Structure 1
């Protein structure tokens, strides 16, 4: 244990274990936990699991007992409350008293319950609570997307009257009380970490005091970057890749429409690799739209399915550009840092946390959010301009996991 640190017993809490759930927040939380461990800190990783444990217990362990699965669920998604109150008030509280962490570092409350914050404060009044924000769920009831329900229109702020228009079964008073409740839970947090300035500004406008907010990007493994992909004679840098879930918010339909709109002579120069899954979980209309586009583009697009985090370096070596076509704001997509970590420029929609991370015309390109015509134009620009090497050389390697962990410890030592 590192005796020189003020806080040296850390409990990291995430809404899923990356062995079971491959989301960016889960991976970021786990990477940080492993770095805390490498620094010699006494730390545990608590991750929610939707699977039943053997014997029906609330907790189960893995990896020599340092990683704990919390078998629980949300019962009230509107107020983000746990379905099983005893899991919180009795079992989680008892776990805290036994372990006695000096810090509880939350990375989410989804699938568990935001009242976890109250349980920590009641059980261990002197323990510091650190909270990394990864999305807008507290601000927006529409899956935290800040997109008008049933449309692709963006929301720029949280307003009870407007929220009730998206969910007419709820009143504006319901949304007002929801915000008051969630803010009362968030008031228990000592410091919030945001991986992007955009997300930080959204939560500041929502009501978190500015002095409780700090921006620290998610860390990446140390890398010297990858050399450019070797081209054959006459080949252009036309290998594009998408990484993520295949759902309407991620804009995969926009991406495929853009490739379909390319002139035939351009289609002969490009290829798109889609690394993602869960199309089968989407609505039938969306599934049909994607499948029709894939049939049309069978000579241009390859769908590879899901991937493991450790495969990312190899997959990025095989591409020239990463494309992020999301139609919602995003926060700080881990795939952008991963692309930069391996020297790959990024093309993204021109909004939110995506646009913040990409310098248009310097480390990648922006296109107009939701416009497949704009994206098609940028794809043609990307392969016609001889700027790839410049972009590659302009990329600044992202913060390492080690640097990220040290930045978190510095925050804790000052609260």
Structure 2
């Protein structure tokens, strides 16, 4: 059987939760099937390029998209660009026509195009979709409002106001880090521009379109009972959506041993991408009142030192708070800590 996995990033280039899950699932499936993986990257190219190659028993199809900051800035101003990408559509059509998969498993479509589901249907290929977050119902992805409080659920007109505020923050930060434009100066102007270019009607259209796409998928997988109920309440038929926890190949931990500690302090650890929705700032704030000699905090995972959020938490960190950064061996963090902490402020999809 030919299986096509579609995801918004793939190791070793991208190593967050969904990407790593897709990697291990693909490797396991490749023991019995021909597995293809389609994913995007940002590169120094003028036009999109689709490159295919073999790696670790998988057939990878890497869509290289232009990295241009000007292009990204202009694209970020229009709401429809957050879920529709004609360049990704064209590359996907070419690839599907070439490999003729027997089934397509959509892991995530952000950075690609939600319309790939419709294209798969046009090719009469059975489809599976795993809900790794709330992108199909929430334009901000994590069911968090612009101020990072938990949202009770999507409503297009409310989503419009929320997205405008969040997007103006994101673009103003990009302008600040890339061109030195003061965020306070850019933020208000950006809100006016975004409101002019993106009416509430666009958010109603997105909700209707994304719901229609969910109904086109043959089978939807929810990694938690909470996610399943939420999407059933959103309009997905009960018999279309299956609860199935994300699996993980625990064989990578065979022979696992804790390293000898060089300190008597209790070592706490965070493992994951260093971003606001993961709540790293809450963890650091909590640690500020703990005496240095009592405990140590180690933060494992990628982070962008230029982002406003990372700069803020780095400036607060005491000497017993260490940013380890990216790691290659998944066992590394767990061999060096005593207590794992998950301070996420969004409703994680991998829970019960």
Tell me the TM-score normalised to structure 2 length.
Answer: 0.78
The aligned residue for residue 52 of structure 2 is: 60
The aligned residue for residue 49 of structure 1 is: 41
Equivalent of 1:322 in 330, 340, 345: 340
- Counterparts in 2 of 1:328 and 1:55: CA distance versus 1, 3 Å: closer
Q: Secondary structure at the match of 2:216?
A: coil
- Work out whether 1:147 is the aligned partner of 2:144: yes
Using the TM superposition, give the Cα deviation of residue 24 of structure 1 relative to its aligned residue in structure 2, in angstroms. Answer: 0.8
Q: Which runs of 5+ in 2 are unaligned?
A: 67-71, 165-194
2 CA distance for matches of 1:94 and 1:276? 35
The aligned residue for residue 70 of structure 1 is: 63
Comparing 238-247 and 162-171, the one that deviates more: 162-171
- Counterparts in 2 of 1:78 and 1:205: CA distance versus 1, 3 Å: farther
Q: 1:285-324 to 2 correspondence within 5 Å?
A: 286-294=309-317, 297-298=318-319, 300-308=320-328, 311-324=329-342
Deviations 1:142-183 (A, max 9, x none): 2x121111x232101111232233246254433222100111
- Counterparts in 2 of 1:36 and 1:53: CA distance versus 1, 3 Å: farther
Q: Secondary structure at the match of 1:312?
A: coil
2 CA distance for matches of 1:164 and 1:135? 19
2 CA distance for matches of 1:65 and 1:190? 24
- Work out whether 1:113 is the aligned partner of 2:113: yes
Contact 2:145 2:151 in 1 (8 A): yes
2 CA distance for matches of 1:50 and 1:147? 26
Contact 2:30 2:58 in 1 (8 A): no
Residues paired across the two proteins, number: 308
| RMSD of aligned Cα (Å) | 2.7
The aligned residue for residue 89 of structure 2 is: 88
Q: Secondary structure at the match of 1:158?
A: coil
Contact 1:247 1:282 in 2 (8 A): no
Using the TM superposition, give the Cα deviation of residue 329 of structure 1 relative to its aligned residue in structure 2, in angstroms. Answer: 1.6
1 CA distance for matches of 2:250 and 2:275? 31
Using the TM superposition, give the Cα deviation of residue 289 of structure 1 relative to its aligned residue in structure 2, in angstroms. Answer: 2.9
Contact 1:241 1:272 in 2 (8 A): yes
Contact 1:106 1:132 in 2 (8 A): yes
The aligned residue for residue 26 of structure 2 is: 33
- Counterparts in 2 of 1:292 and 1:43: CA distance versus 1, 3 Å: closer
2 CA distance for matches of 1:146 and 1:156? 8
The aligned residue for residue 13 of structure 1 is: 6
- Counterparts in 2 of 1:84 and 1:324: CA distance versus 1, 3 Å: same
Q: 1:329-340 to 2 correspondence within 5 Å?
A: 329-332=347-350
1 CA distance for matches of 2:258 and 2:12? 31
The aligned residue for residue 273 of structure 2 is: 245
Equivalent of 2:161 in 147, 159, 165: 165
Contact 2:37 2:58 in 1 (8 A): no
Deviations 1:263-293 (A, max 9, x none): x3xx42211111123242422xx34431232
- Counterparts in 2 of 1:204 and 1:80: CA distance versus 1, 3 Å: farther
2 CA distance for matches of 1:93 and 1:292? 47
2 CA distance for matches of 1:80 and 1:130? 22
Contact 2:26 2:58 in 1 (8 A): no
1 CA distance for matches of 2:227 and 2:258? 32
Contact 2:261 2:336 in 1 (8 A): no
